[in-house]
Amino acid sequence: MRETVARFAVAYRRHLHPDGRLDDDAPAFARDPARLIPLYRAMVRARTFDAKAVALQRTGQLGTYASALGQEAIGVAVGSAMRPEDVLLPSYREHAAQLLRGVTMTELLLYWGGDERGSDFAGPREDFPVCIPVATHACHAVGVAYAFRLRGEARVAVAVMGDGATSKGDFYEALNAAGVWRLPLVVVVNNNQWAISVPRSRQSAAETLAQKAVAAGIHGEQVDGNDVVALRAALDEALGRARAGEGPSLVEALTYRLGDHTTADDASRYRDDDEVRRRWAEEPAARLRSHLVAVGAWGKADEEALLAEARAEVEQAVAAYLATPPPAPEAMFDHLHAELPAALARQRAEVAGRGGHG
């Protein structure tokens, strides 16, 4: 005898189309331009910062940098949906979310400039620093969410990672544990179609990445990652479920990496230029701007004022970053141990004795 014991489906959500047209079943907040304009402003702010960071790296004033060009809707949706008391565990393309959470541009530049003081946020003190290792922060997020549940706190841990992270063991272990314990965790997969030079099609044989939630017994869905309206609606629901004790969620945001993987990469060596040009027609900022213009809520003067404001903010942050004195060389020893082992204590004393010129 053979029979079907279970059936599963993966939902896909889109409300705002590439031409700026809004679906009839879009959430109520999307009918109010006053709710959408802050989302658009946040995307432009993040993109302006992003462009300047790349320029700083190209002129030797910043270390290797991971651009979020074309993926701003994901960070903006995450950052705007979270409450201040929630905890963000970002990967390396979440500048938009971090800026909305209160991390300053100067702190971000310090971090990418190799100064770990940039991870000591003055704003969201409990948010995690940027996670460079792929998917390791998925397990950290489970620990954070478990702590929230033990304390009886209505808070949510939100971890953001790329499509390549879903191939890692840490990812599967984290989802499984979160499902078993019904933890207040939301995992957002930024599926930008490329894990450095490896295309999504060679990352996983799964038809969607959202279906990986099925094996963990948790809610999973796929969303147009260039549609900030659909993303925000999906995250509002996921965060609401987590806060209400209804368990974790996985949101797969389908987008496209318009730039290189990092400034150490050259995507033109492995990616077709025509494909990139086609993807520009779907990018999130222009999509929302088209909608706002169509409903009479945005115009040329608004755009020019916003760009001037964003550029001025970025330039002010760059000036503060470049004026920040470097940390003392012995500072590298100061945050790894509560009490330095003898060998490291000797090294620290030796470095300090060189007077910062070692």
Catalytic residue annotation? 257, 261, 270
Report CA dihedral (10, 82, 229, 133) to the nearest 10 degrees.
-60
Q: How far apart are CA 152 and CA 150, in angstroms?
A: 5
With left for phi above 0 and alpha for psi between -120 and 50, is residue 165 left, alpha or beta? alpha
DSSP string, 27-42: -GGGG-HHHHHHHHHH
SS3 224: strand
Q: Which amino acid is at 101?
A: R
Question: What are the angstrom distances between the C-alpha of 84 and each of 43, 101, 127, 185, 234?
Answer: 19, 7, 10, 15, 19
Q: Where are the beta strands (DSSP E) in 180-248?
A: 185-191, 194-195, 198-199, 219-224
- β-sheet bridge partners, residue 186: 158, 249
